[in-house]
Amino acid sequence: MKNYKLIIQYDGTRYRGWQRQKNTTNTIQEKFEVVLQKMCSMPVEIFASGRTDAGVHAAKQIANFICNTKYSCGEIKEYLNHYLPQDILVLSVEEVHKRFHSRLNAVSKTYAYTIATEKPNVFNRKYVFGAEKKPDIHKMRKAAEKLIGKHDFIGFSSVSKTKKSTERTIYSITITELENLLTIQINGSGFLYNMVRILCGTLLEIGTGERTEECIDTVFNEKNRASAGVTLPACGLKLIDVFYESIGHTEDINM
Amino acid sequence: MKNYKLIIQYDGTRYRGWQRQKNTTNTIQEKFEVVLQKMCSMPVEIFASGRTDAGVHAAKQIANFICNTKYSCGEIKEYLNHYLPQDILVLSVEEVHKRFHSRLNAVSKTYAYTIATEKPNVFNRKYVFGAEKKPDIHKMRKAAEKLIGKHDFIGFSSVSKTKKSTERTIYSITITELENLLTIQINGSGFLYNMVRILCGTLLEIGTGERTEECIDTVFNEKNRASAGVTLPACGLKLIDVFYESIGHTEDINM
């Protein structure tokens, strides 16, 4: 049995997210597993660095699966791209150490949320969120500093209660503006359910003056979802990179 | 009655082209006229700089219509964007001289055809054509020089026979490469049916070695469509600018 690492890309618009579900076959994991089963003539489970929610995109998602196949890495890539739908693309396939696990070994992930501050261009309308008011980027950047570090982010999530830890670490938040597109890029150890979309909704509302940056302290202190901003729509969110232990970057975890 | 000039943008993927047709309501012109009739409480005809074919996009198309309305230009823009589908966008509306006509006054148009030389990124897959072989860009540039100037382009079109002139002038062809995207940008006085897609198909086949640049002379001399390259798919084609008489650029034809 060999362990294969995949770098994949998908347009999440028409899917119910990454993770296989009982009540629908329309998930990205399921699309992969159907093709892998065909290729390997046996059921194959594929793991991703993390589940992306319904409608969320990935410019670079990392996945792995273990199987026995006669195909080379290049042939696996070709096979998958031939049978997968057009909005899912395998960028690379390589054999990695048996102990590599795309989720368990991930050290940090970067998500980008893109907001159009004018009506979005028709060609990227499915990948951005159109804001009604132009926010003040300086206010957003100042507020973002309060989010850096290790915190209990439960108030910035759609998790109601859980026995698992809801502490996460945010390593960096970069807010950039290019023409009419504002991008919030967040790198962190991991993210709770809806956390990136709520953090971005909170920063946006701080930028437009609907909230003050003090609300961030309130959410941390009171762990109260109601004090945070809206959950922005899934369409503007994209997983853009995943980093792994040892030397850090995904390129360095090979055998 | 006032004459309004519009700068518009559309994703042509799901339309049967710009021009109103008898057997379908699914054209961009029809979508505009339905909304304009609602806005003006009377039938309004809208003219574009040229028809784009089924599936062809426009990053910048120029149109105009004459009507009597109480709305300001800003209000017209808002009204149209509110009622038009999401894949059609009005970028600007302004009142222009009564004699301005978006098609009759156009001096030249620029189209861009984009070819992905590796499997296209999932986020722009609807706006590029994925080539199977990587072409030689230098061969393509050299061959493109033969197309510059005034020629009878009937052999590079899907026009069978016509009493109208099939002479057109190509002013420039620029071929650029950025990462895995190759873009052929053509500026010309006007284009016959399928002409841009056939010119790009011919240049691509010259780049991949399936044809030699001499085929261009053959097509011009024999006016024979069969000697030219394939008609590339509509998805890769985008109208990107329209230029007008007097000082030249669309910005200069206002009152």
| CA–CA dist B77, B9 (Å, integer) | 13
Question: By three-state DSSP, how is residue A254 classified?
Answer: coil
R_g over Cα of chain A? 19
Q: Which residues of B touch A55 (CB under 8 A)?
A: none
Q: Which of A88, A119, A123 sits opposite B81 (nearest CB)?
A: A119
User: What's the pLDDT score for residue B247?
Assistant: 38
Taking the CA of residue A9 and the nearest CA in chain B, the distance in Å comes to 7
Taking the CA of residue B156 and the nearest CA in chain A, the distance in Å comes to 29
Helix B73-83 and helix B28-40: axis angle, to 10°?
120
The 10 Å Cβ neighbour count of residue A139 is: 17
User: What's the pLDDT score for residue B255?
Assistant: 46
User: What's the pLDDT score for residue B179?
Assistant: 86
- DSSP H or E segment with residue B112: strand B106-116
Taking the CA of residue A99 and the nearest CA in chain B, the distance in Å comes to 30
Q: What's the pTM? A: 0.84
User: What's the pLDDT score for residue A255?
Assistant: 46
Percent of chain A with pLDDT over 90: 89
**Contact between chains at B87 and A57 (C-beta distance less than 8 A):** no
User: What's the pLDDT score for residue B246?
Assistant: 62
| CA–CA dist B176, B138 (Å, integer) | 10
Evaluate if residue B254 carries a pLDDT over 80.
Answer: no
* Amino acid, single-letter form, for residue A143: A
User: What's the pLDDT score for residue A246?
Assistant: 62
**Contact between chains at A123 and B59 (C-beta distance less than 8 A):** yes
Sign, CA dihedral A204-A209-A211-A217, equals positive
Q: Name the residues of B annotated as catalytic.
A: 53
Q: Is B187 exposed, middle or buried (0-12, 13-18, 19+ CB in 10 A)?
A: middle
Taking the Cβ of residue B244 and every Cβ of chain A, the question of whether any pair is shorter than 8 Å is answered with no
Mean pLDDT in residue range A18-22: 94
| pLDDT tens digits, one per residue of A63-72 | 999 999 999 9
Mean pLDDT in residue range B229-241: 97
**Contact between chains at B9 and A122 (C-beta distance less than 8 A):** yes
**E-strand spans in chain A?**
2-10, 46-48, 57-67, 88-96, 106-116, 129-130, 149-152, 167-178, 181-188, 237-244
Q: Give the closest residue to B229 by CA, choosing from B127, B139, B111, B169.
A: B139
| pLDDT tens digits, one per residue of A28-64 | 999 999 999 999 999 999 999 999 999 999 999 999 9
User: What's the pLDDT score for residue A120?
Assistant: 84
| CA–CA dist A216, A202 (Å, integer) | 8
Q: Which residues of B touch A124 (CB under 8 A)?
A: 123
| CA–CA dist B53, B32 (Å, integer) | 16
Vertex A31 angle, CA A26 and A32, to 5°: 150
**Contact between chains at A87 and B10 (C-beta distance less than 8 A):** no
List, as one string, the DSSP characters of B7-32: EEEE-GGGSS-SS-BTTBS-SHHHHH
Q: Which of A119, A122, A127 sits opposite B87 (nearest CB)?
A: A122
User: What's the pLDDT score for residue B74?
Assistant: 97
| pLDDT tens digits, one per residue of B13-56 | 999 999 999 999 999 999 999 999 999 999 999 999 999 999 99
Q: Which of A88, A119, A125 sits opposite B122 (nearest CB)?
A: A88
Q: Which residues of A touch B119 (CB under 8 A)?
A: 81, 89
**Contact between chains at A89 and B122 (C-beta distance less than 8 A):** yes
Residue of A nearest to B130 (CA): A86
Write down the residue that tokens 């922005």 correspond to.
A232
- What is the overall mean pLDDT for chain B? 93
Sign, CA dihedral A22-A26-A29-A34, equals positive
